A = this chain, B = another copy of it.
Amino acid sequence: MKKPSHLLFLSALICLPQLSYAEKVIAPANDIEYPKHLTNWRVISTSIRNDNNTQRVILGNALAVKAARAETKKIAWPNGAILAKLVWKNETLPTWQAATVPGDFVHAEIMVRDTKKYATTGGWGFARWTGLELTPHGKDSSAAQACFDCHQAAKATDYVFTQPAKLP
């Protein structure tokens, strides 16, 4: 009987690239990669924007959550920290009309802390992906300037609008 090892090896070579298609490919925005599995990150805060009828949750990677939950007066965001905002259009909850809940998904936004790499934009890399299909919003790093311009309002808090919510 012929040994099947060569055939098995060949099958593996053919099948492996197909397996990789199961994972959604998300293009980078502003030259920044979309962090995989960010919906599994821990919560830092929530917020509502009354000027565009949206609500959001602010999540953080391990470094960001550690900094946000440290009991310090001013947060020291370390290099490598990433803040993520998931934004939804407001909708009325059918079972409780006084409640406003997340409707359509608007976009995911991140801020990546790297004081050297992003020195010209306050030490933060900014990126946005729109819709559930996560279409990159900006083509390259020049698009981050618009984000940074708006974030000037939060200069006193290191260009971060988010105030970590008080947690029990």
| A interface residues with partner B (beta carbon < 8 Å) | 39-40, 42-43, 45-51, 55-57, 59, 86, 88, 90, 93, 95-96, 98-102, 104-105, 108, 129, 131-134, 153-154, 156-157, 161, 163, 165-168
Residues of B within 8 A of A154 (CB): 95-96
Q: Report the bound CA distance from A104 to B134 in whole Å.
A: 34
- Nearest first, the 7 A-B pairs at minimum CB distance are A51-B98, A102-B165, A48-B100, A105-B166, A95-B154, A47-B101, A39-B167
Q: Evaluate whether A43 and B59 lie within 8 angstroms (CB atoms) in the complex, with A105-B166, A165-B105 already known.
A: yes
Oligomeric state, in copies: 2
> What are 14 pairs between A and B in contact, CB < 8 Å?
A39-B168, A43-B59, A43-B86, A45-B102, A46-B57, A46-B102, A47-B102, A49-B96, A50-B99, A50-B100, A86-B167, A102-B166, A105-B167, A132-B167
Contact pick for A100, options B47, B101, B102, CB 8 Å? B47
Q: Report the bound CA distance from A161 to B46 in whole Å.
A: 18
Residues of B within 8 A of A95 (CB): 153-154, 156-157, 161
